[in-house]
Amino acid sequence: MSMDLTDIQRRLEGAVSCLEGDFQGLRAGRASISMLDPVTADAYGSKMPINQLGNISVPESRMLTVQVWDQGMVAAVEKAIRESDLGLNPQTEGNLIRLPIPDLSAERRTELAKVAGKYAEQTRIAIRNIRRDAIETARKLEKDGEFGEDERHGIEAKIQKLTDDFVGKVDAMLATKETDIKTV
């Protein structure tokens, strides 16, 4: 068995793309279909994402609509949106739920920036865990005689460089998102 740095890089990229998805769900005053991605409703005996219960669309920049397919699910979807931490106030007309996007208060912007920071920190932790696993694997391979101490040091340096690069990406993404959130 040898050390596969491309696999480590793939795992790091996965952590960063997960963060991108989390950031898309944090709105900065504009409507986005992905805002509702984290919201799940009690449907058919389990928790289901809203995008599996109806069509979500953005008819205008400050409005989302959810066209619920099953009339019996409208109340559950409306309740899930109301109880989410998105600060949206659903307005229901038959199977259509309108979600006007309110202006963000300074307090709400600060709160969203903190949430973005929390997402970024979770991603940094995931990146450090990937680094730790990779370094443990390298040390085990050295112990098993797969390669020498110098090679292990070289591999650990490459792993650390990858880690630093990805933490830098996370920091840059966070700075961009914070700017986006705080821009009125």
For the chain, which residues make up each domain, given as ranges?
A: 7-24+105-182, 30-100
**For position 32, what pLDDT does the model report?**
79
Distance CA 176, CA 160 (A): 24
Distance CA 131, CA 162 (A): 9
Predicted TM-score (pTM) of this structure: 0.66
**For position 74, what pLDDT does the model report?**
92
- Helix (H) or strand (E) holding 29, with range, is none
Q: Is 30-100 the same fold as 7-24+105-182?
A: no
- The architecture (CATH level 2) of 7-24+105-182 comes to Orthogonal Bundle (1.10)
Distance CA 20, CA 136 (A): 28
**For position 23, what pLDDT does the model report?**
84
User: What stretches in the chain show pLDDT beneath 70?
Assistant: 1-2, 27-29, 184
* CATH code of the region 30-100: 3.30.1360.40
- The residue whose two tokens read 């650990």 is 156
Count CB atoms within 10 A of the CB of residue 147: 15
**For position 115, what pLDDT does the model report?**
86
